[in-house]
């Protein structure tokens, strides 16, 4: 997918004006406010930069516990359409959220070498719960893009918080799994020796380890890779986060590629809200395509969020086996999130 925000980097003012008009019969781009919660962090800062470059954003609210006024001042100097405001501290969270069309949540701690996703859960679950409580109060109709890990548990936490508040709409809550798709496309293109911008690979399941299931049998263009290559590509896609954590040797996790993936998905949400037809991305959403209440698959985005959740399509024997293996682990992660939200 080639997103307008990245074309913008290479465009002059004339082509920027045409970008703003593209896809809208009225010739005018709707006003859209996007809030980034955790904007001063490792993912939040590059994500804020990328959202500033997106011509579909008219207002960009950057929120974090501290440090956001500096990030906002820095990003505000970029000569693009959106107005920037920085908010710091819990007392300013409501202002950051009010009127938001899309809320992106990269808040929380990143994974460090040796950390399990359970370790992440123990810290990030409480952060997500408090942020979602505020979303339910200040912008209950916003599309919520959950990046905070472990997504397999934080999305169910958000759903439970919204249910308690009486604001839950399953069409508006998304776990952002786009980085799995980005990695699968990149790794497949390298192995198949095809241009990466032409590649498409659906990734289903969840967003951690073996719950990530790239469907290379459905990849386009078709490359007929041998079984051992498919297995290696699958494992590399599943372990992509660990690969980056280890390469950074304790100095961070996949912040830059995650920011890119988060910006791609937010762009798709904005296009859907604005009525652009046939916007399809993979995302971890409430779903009935498997026995699990949440599952990542291809989703059509529209004016109310989720327009349609697509089935898995034909799977290879290897993928069927992968699906069977991931179900118990994903089920446990979902239940863990639900239990946390209802106990604490």
What is the set of active-site residues? 207
The annotation status of 39 as a binding-site residue, yes or no, is yes
Q: Is 183 annotated as a binding residue?
A: yes
Residue 72 marked in a binding site? no
Is 117 marked as a binding-site residue? yes
Residue 124 annotated as binding site = yes
Contact 128, 107 (CB under 8 A): yes
Q: Is 205 annotated as a binding residue?
A: no
User: Secondary structure of 99-151 in the HEC alphabet?
Assistant: CCCEEEECCCCCCCCCCCHHHHHHHHHHHHHHHHHHHHHHCCCCEEEECCCCH
Q: Does the annotation flag 10 for ligand binding?
A: no
Annotated binding residue 38:
yes
Here the tokens at position 268 are 């798709």
Q: Which residues pair with 308 in a beta bridge?
A: 300
Residue 54 annotated as lining a ligand binding site: no
The closest of 137, 100, 136, 147 to 255, measured between CA atoms, is: 147
Dihedral pair phi/psi, residue 199, rounded to 5°:
-85, 140
Question: Is there a binding annotation on residue 40?
Answer: yes
Look up residue 306 and give its two tokens: 């989720």
42 is annotated as contributing to ligand binding:
yes
> What values do phi and psi take at 37, rounded to 5?
-100, 115
Assess contact for 61 and 35: CB atoms under 8 A.
yes
Q: Residues within the annotated binding site?
A: 38-44, 64, 111, 117, 124, 147-149, 183, 258
Q: Residues within the annotated binding site for substrate?
A: 111, 117, 149, 183
Q: Residues within the annotated binding site for NAD(+)?
A: 38-44, 64, 124, 147-149, 258
């Amino acid at each position: 997918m080639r997103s307008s925000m990245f074309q913008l980097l290479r465009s002059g003012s004339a082509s920027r004006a045409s970008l703003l008009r593209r896809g809208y019969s009225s010739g005018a781009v709707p006003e859209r406010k996007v809030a980034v919660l955790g904007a001063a962090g490792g993912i939040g800062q590059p994500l804020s930069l990328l959202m500033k470059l997106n011509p579909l954003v008219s207002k960009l609210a950057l929120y974090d516990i501290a440090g956001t006024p500096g990030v906002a001042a820095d990003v505000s100097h970029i000569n693009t359409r959106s107005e920037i405001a920085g908010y710091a501290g819990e007392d300013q969270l409501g202002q950051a959220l009010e009127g938001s069309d899309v809320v992106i949540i990269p808040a929380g701690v990143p994974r460090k070498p040796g950390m399990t996703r359970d370790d992440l859960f123990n810290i990030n679950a409480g952060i997500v719960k408090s942020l979602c409580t505020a979303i339910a109060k200040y912008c209950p109709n916003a599309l919520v893009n959950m990046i905070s890990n472990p997504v397999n548990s934080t999305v169910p936490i958000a759903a439970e918080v919204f249910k308690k508040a009486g604001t839950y709409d399953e069409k508006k809550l998304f776990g952002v799994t786009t980085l799995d798709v980005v990695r699968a496309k990149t790794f497949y293109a390298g192995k198949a020796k095809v241009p990466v911008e032409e590649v498409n690979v659906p990734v289903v399941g969840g967003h951690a380890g073996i719950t990530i299931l790239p469907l290379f049998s459905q990849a386009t263009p078709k490359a007929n890779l041998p079984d051992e290559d498919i297995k290696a590509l699958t494992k590399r896609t599943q372990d992509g986060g660990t690969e980056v954590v280890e390469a950074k040797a304790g100095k961070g996790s996949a912040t830059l590629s995650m920011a890119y993936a988060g910006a791609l998905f937010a762009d798709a949400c904005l296009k859907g809200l604005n009525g652009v037809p046939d916007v399809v991305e993979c995302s971890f959403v409430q779903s009935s395509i498997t026995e699990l209440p949440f599952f990542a698959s291809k989703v059509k985005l529209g004016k109310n969020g989720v327009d349609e959740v697509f089935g898995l399509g034909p799977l290879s024997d290897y993928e069927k086996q992968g699906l069977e293996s991931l179900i118990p682990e994903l089920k446990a992660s979902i239940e863990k999130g639900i239990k946390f939200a209802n106990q604490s």
